[in-house]
Chain A
Amino acid sequence: MDCRKIMLPSIIIYGLINSVILALIAMGFSLTFGISGVANFAYGGFYLFSGFLVWMLLNYLKFPLILAIMVTIGVTGLLGFVTYWVILLRVRGIALSEVIATFALGVGILELFRWMGFVTYEFTLPYLKKGMILIAGVPVDYQRLFIIGIGLGLVLFLYFFTHYTRIGLSFRGIAQNERTAISLGIKSDRTAALSLAFGSAMAAVAAIVILPLGIISINTGYEVLLIAVAVGIVGGLESVPGILVASLILGYAQVITGTYFKPEWMMVVYLAAIVLVLGIRPSGLFGKFKELEERV
């Protein structure tokens, strides 16, 4: 039957799309954490902030889409930078305070938007390009292809950025050994602030390509944090290969569950994966064993 023939390609294609979505969401969180050790719990807040910012720029100020996207990525990055200098700098090194401050900031941003009435279904972002094509008999819309493209592009960009640019190298320096890096003249605070800015900007990129698929709702913000964290736990928070592998595992597991089982079980995949990984390898599949020696 036709039905069987289309099933396998559709799982392969939609599994990949789903994996890239998860990776896009998780990458910004992991980047910040890997470099500066700051778990940016305001991540979901930043993600949603950029979604609403694009919407407001488009609808209130009538910006063209491309300009709105540029401005949003810039502003969200700046927000991350300022967050570091205004809040995190004062509590740096106290894990408790870092966690609470960023978490509170994220919740504050999300609930502020809720209070401002951003709760109905009018808040959707436009597709970058409408329409769809058939790949091996499976309909895929252009937006999802963009997501794959941008996801891959971002991974490549990060690789080259961290290996061949000054800022990128200083990121890795701080991540590997903060004190040695400082002694070599890399400014720890500046690098940490930049890492937060980068993480936030990546949240904005993820929001701009992913949000058009659905609507911008407040709960998405919490969900995004949840996804970022779940992927991080499974893959190992600070490890980029870990994030990619975990995204693939979770992404495909979800789509298979959704197709052969019931769509509503897709959320349970996270819980099952987290419980499994915690039981077997608490630091995550690719995470370094971080029980005592490290700060985390």
Chain B
Amino acid sequence: MKYRKERLDRGIKARCEDIFALSSYREILYLAFPRVLPVAVLLILPLLKDVVGLYWEKVLMISCIIALLALSWDLMASVGLISLGQALFFGAGAYITGFLNHAFKLPPILTIPLGTLAGALFCTLLLSPVLRLRGVYFAIVTLTLPLLLARFIETTKILGGTEGMSGLSPLPDIWIEMYVPVLALLLCLFGFRRLINEDYGLVLQGIRDNDRAVMSGAINIYWFKAQAVFLAGLAGSFAGAFMTHYNQVVGMAAFAMDYSILPLTAAVLGGVGSFAGPTIGAFILVPLSEMLRAVGTLRVVFYSAILIICVVGLPEGVFHYIRRKYHQFERMVEVG
């Protein structure tokens, strides 16, 4: 006697993935639960700082920052731009913010938005020539740019050189430190999800799937790609801008490989193309890597292993897997 697994969609799903026919509060709750719960948890966790401890609040904050970078990675991936250098966005935002604060003594409330905008603009301009190239070429260029920019700062000694700029203004209070990244993450997460389902997002995905078809629709794909990079740059640069004031220091390490590898791993682990996936990935990866701190450098080897295993063996990612399980019944049926 042989069995096979049969999967059935739940009844509320009408016709396609995203349209639901709801007939009761239970079903509304069923749909709302997975959306509301993480939001609620993210919003409540900072309130519990005395219970959770400041160290884990810090981990929460870093998770948010990495999640932001992962989101920005995912947005670019939705247009078919594979980036190996999210650190570019992070570093640009961090340095511009640090410079504004260091040179003009602007308060964080001005420097962070300005740094975010200027960082995104800078990256878009820097990457705009490469947008004509697809796939691997883009990845190669994004890999080199942050590393070379760090070297550039090192040799030219501009922006503080190897020592960086320290003694920057701290964030005004602990609530801002904790809530700003959480709110920014939620804004980006739901904003990007919304965006990608609008007509605008369809164009972006169209560019990824078949750029010539989109071009034949008289759409300037480079302009759209540039916009996508700018939006992704906003999320990434904000992460950098915020961390600059949080650490009160900005240095060459703002372009560190960690800021490229972690978001990438988070996105691949969580599931590419859904925005929720990379967020989940970041919230698994960052706390995990804190626990793995004892093993030191071996952590990075773990990330690499996770990356390879996910890419080769689990290409859909954690999020898509969980979503499937949540939305479908599974049962064993007899065959033959």
Question: Considering only CB atoms, which chain B residue lies closest to A277 in the complex?
Answer: B129
Would you give the shortest CB distance from B228 to chain A, in whole angstroms?
A: 16
Contact A111 B147 (CB under 8 A): no
- A295 interface hit (Cβ, 8 Å): yes
Would you give the shortest CB distance from A272 to chain B, in whole angstroms?
A: 9
- Find A111's partner among B134, B135, B148, B297 (CB 8 Å cutoff): B297
Contact A282 B312 (CB under 8 A): no
B233-246 interface mask toward A, CB cutoff 8 Å, 1 = contact, 0 = none? 00000000000000
Contact B212 A233 (CB under 8 A): no
- B336 interface hit (Cβ, 8 Å): no
When distances are taken between beta carbons in the complex, the residues of chain A under 8 Å from B298 are: 111-112, 115
B107-146 interface mask toward A, CB cutoff 8 Å, 1 = contact, 0 = none? 0000000000000000000100110111111011101110
Residues in A202-259 with C-beta less than 8 Å from chain B? 222, 225-226, 229-230, 232-233, 237
* 24 A–B contacts from the bound complex (CB under 8 Å): A90-B312, A91-B315, A95-B136, A97-B312, A98-B136, A101-B307, A101-B308, A104-B307, A105-B304, A107-B300, A108-B305, A111-B300, A225-B143, A226-B144, A233-B140, A264-B154, A265-B155, A267-B154, A268-B151, A271-B149, A271-B151, A271-B152, A282-B130, A295-B134
- B261 interface hit (Cβ, 8 Å): yes
Question: Considering only CB atoms, which chain B residue lies closest to A110 in the complex?
Answer: B300
When distances are taken between beta carbons in the complex, the residues of chain A under 8 Å from B304 are: 104-105, 107-108, 111
Interface centre among B126, B130, B133, B154 (most CB of A within 10 A): B133
Please report the C-alpha to C-alpha distance between residue A295 and residue B143 in the assembled complex, in whole angstroms. Answer: 19
Would you give the shortest CB distance from B268 to chain A, in whole angstroms?
A: 6
- B264 interface hit (Cβ, 8 Å): yes
Q: A99-B82, A108-B301 are in contact. Are A282 and B129 (CB under 8 A)?
A: yes
Would you give the shortest CB distance from B150 to chain A, in whole angstroms?
A: 10
Q: Which residues of A contact B (CB under 8 A)?
A: 33, 37, 39, 41, 87, 90-91, 95-101, 103-105, 107-108, 111-112, 114-115, 222, 225-226, 229-230, 232-233, 237, 262, 264-265, 267-268, 270-271, 274-275, 278-279, 282-283, 290-292, 295-296
- Find B303's partner among A39, A95, A104, A278 (CB 8 Å cutoff): A104
Please report the C-alpha to C-alpha distance between residue A195 and residue B134 in the assembled complex, in whole angstroms. Answer: 22
Contact A99 B136 (CB under 8 A): yes
Chain B contact residue count (CB 8 A cutoff): 48
- B156 interface hit (Cβ, 8 Å): yes
Contact B308 A296 (CB under 8 A): no
Q: Which residues of B contact A (CB under 8 A)?
A: 77, 82, 84, 126, 129-130, 132-137, 139-141, 143-145, 147-149, 151-152, 154-156, 211-212, 215, 257, 261, 264-265, 268, 272, 296-298, 300-301, 303-305, 307-308, 311-312, 315
- Find A291's partner among B132, B140, B141 (CB 8 Å cutoff): B132
Please report the C-alpha to C-alpha distance between residue A39 and residue B156 in the assembled complex, in whole angstroms. Answer: 31
Top 5 A-B pairs, shortest CB-CB distance: A108-B304, A104-B307, A95-B135, A111-B300, A271-B148
